[in-house]
Amino acid sequence: EVQLVESGGGLVQPGKSLRLSCAVSGFKFDDYAMHWVRQTPGKGLEWVAGVSWNSGNIGYAESVRGRFTISRDNAENSLYLEMNSLRDEDTALYYCAKDQSDTILWFDNWGQGTVVTVSS
Amino acid sequence: IMVTQSPATLSLSPGERATLSCRASLTISSNLAWYQQKPGQAPRLLIYEASTRATGIPARFRGSGSGTEFTLTISSLQSEDFAVYFCQQYNTWPLTFGQGTKVEIK
């Protein structure tokens, strides 16, 4: 059974940093691309970043480029999102999602999410 | 690429057919996926490549379209199908979602 478990969310002040982690199991991690997707009541679903199986292809949403960094550790079956210079508008539920392929396409499995709240 | 879904809300009775639309601002070939989301749950993949059902998805869910116009049809609504549905294009980065269509019980 595929499992994706996010952690690292919480309350953080604007301008500060936070690191999200996603621990995976139930599939061969280094065969698939991985993503972070966030959701807010007002803006719906927003793809944040994606990384191919070997980290050779990485993409970001315009809203986070230059502030967020996605990375993966295939030896540890883990995905990460380093979030710097956080803004109020980064407040959301952040999902870790598995791609159905080794490149960046669509999401066939999702975690339950971790909440990030940016507020002073 | 902007993705626009319509209608925002669809009020139907169990057993009725649901037709949901998704329009891309530029042509995306068949590079479109559909997801279902129920309250308190993560989205679930229904359809990819515009018309291929994901593993375990019932045959009453049918995706169609190419280019800029796409449709998700639920042939006969079951109680468990009342949810929010999102489409997502993966033709061009950044990947983008529609704003969702809520299918509610009439």
**Residue B101: per-residue pLDDT:** 97
**Residue A42: per-residue pLDDT:** 75
Residues of chain B with pLDDT under 70: none
Contacts of B31 in chain A (CB under 8 A): 105
**Residue A105: per-residue pLDDT:** 87
CA-wise closest residue to A20 among A115, A98, A106: A115
Residue B34 contacts A, CB cutoff 8 Å: no
Cβ separation B94–A59 shorter than 8 A: yes
Contacts of A57 by beta carbon, 8 Å cutoff, 6+ apart = A33, A50, A51, A103, A104
Rg (CA), chain A: 13
> Do the beta carbons of residue A79 and residue A72 sit within 8 Å?
yes
Cβ separation A100–B43 shorter than 8 A: no
Question: Distance (Å, rounded) from C-alpha A56 to C-alpha A51?
Answer: 8
**Residue B31: per-residue pLDDT:** 96
Cβ separation A106–B86 shorter than 8 A: no
> Do the beta carbons of residue A59 and residue A42 sit within 8 Å?
no
Contacts of B3 in chain A (CB under 8 A): none
Say how many C-beta atoms besides its own lie within 10 A of residue A119's C-beta: 10
> Do the beta carbons of residue A77 and residue A3 sit within 8 Å?
no
Tokens of A94: 């952040």
Amino acid at A71: S
Q: How far, CA to CA in Å, does A39 sit from each of A45, A48, A50?
A: 5, 10, 16
Nearest C-alpha of chain B: how many angstroms from A44? 6
Q: What is the pLDDT along chain A (120 residues), one digit of tens a residue?
A: 999 999 999 999 999 999 999 999 999 999 999 999 999 987 789 999 999 999 999 999 999 999 999 999 999 999 999 999 999 999 999 999 999 988 888 999 999 999 999 999
By DSSP bridging, strand A10-12 and strand A3-7 are unpaired
